[in-house]
Chain A
């Protein structure tokens, strides 16, 4: 079962990656054209994805069970000062690299050499946040970490 699920995630990721690659969502020029309002392709993608996902998410959560019959639980994200400051910082990076986190991997697969530097930077950035998380907690109102009991 576990191997089947892993294969499923791999397959869904592959379809997602192919779609991001061919739609412009992982393309530097389309990202810049979106932010310059010169081409609206990516606004169309985001908009149609949200419009189509919204009723589906509502129906699935109303049903309350997965296709395999296990309960559905969607963990909601908190709102704090980190949501705002972090998203502003992310927007700067999204513009600079022309990639958000998923498309970094897509660009790597496409053979874009510079995506290696974007991935290295993203891992350094995420590690830095993880390392200083406790000292940022009160400034940004971040939630306590839920760690499994490892004692």
Chain B
């Protein structure tokens, strides 16, 4: 296949499943953001959940601030739900098996398990430090903030999409070309 062609046949790494339609996924995500606000006065935002977990063991004032302590009661069960949702998706879609499969990372970069763990850990540090410095991620800035016409969220989304595009282009079109 030509390197720059649009590829309509990307399948999920999870058991090679075909993806559900994007508009259905978008509608469900919007419905959940609206339900959280309408039912519980909660602003969708998941990266604060990383701090919720930290706050269970860390005592610094940063982790005991009200934005964290007042939201733990909804975010922690929500995060458990995310994990459960992924589990059910596997069970109902071909079966749950622990796996190292990582799609095009395997075919193009090809690091083994130790390399993958190191790569993912570094990526995770960027995610954890970056989202908390930016005070939001794809959900809090990208979906809720942009939908609510908040200028800081538009700036944040432009930055994380821009940096993501640049990094992937560098990795797959320059470094591991």
- Report A's interface with B, CB cutoff 8 A: 2, 5-42, 44-54, 56-57, 60-61, 66-68, 70-79, 82-131, 133-134, 136, 140, 142, 145-148, 150
Contacts and interface: CB of A to CB of B under 8 A. Distances in A.
7 contacts: A17-B82, A36-B172, A41-B19, A49-B26, A89-B163, A133-B62, A146-B67
A2 B72 CA distance: 13
B121 A120 contact: yes
Closest 10 CB pairs of A and B: A13-B81, A121-B124, A17-B85, A125-B128, A91-B163, A109-B86, A48-B26, A93-B126, A86-B134, A86-B133
Given A35-B167, A48-B27, A66-B41, A148 B83 contact: no
A7 B118 CA distance: 36
Interface of B: 4-8, 10-14, 17, 19-20, 22-41, 43, 46-47, 49-51, 53-54, 58, 60-67, 69, 73-75, 77-90, 93, 96-105, 113, 116-153, 155-169, 171-173
A87 B148 contact: no
Given A39-B7, A44-B23, A97-B124, A28 B102 contact: yes
Contacts of A17: 81-86, 88-89
Contacts of B139: 100-102
Contacts of A88: 130, 159-160, 162-163
Given A35-B169, A47-B26, A75-B67, A14 B98 contact: no
Given A9-B74, A44-B22, A111 B47 contact: no
Given A60-B34, A87-B130, A77 B136 contact: yes
Nearest to A91: B163
A142 B132 CA distance: 11
Given A14-B85, A44-B23, A96-B171, 8 more contacts: A27-B12, A47-B26, A48-B30, A77-B136, A86-B135, A101-B131, A114-B100, A148-B65
Contacts of B147: 49-50, 53-54, 57
B148 to A, nearest CB: 5
Contacts of A124: 121, 124-125, 128
A85 B88 CA distance: 36
A142 B130 CA distance: 13
A87 B159 contact: yes
Contacts of B13: 27-29, 112
Given A13-B85, A46-B142, A110-B89, A129 B132 contact: yes
A129 B63 CA distance: 10
A72 B144 contact: no
A57 B148 contact: yes
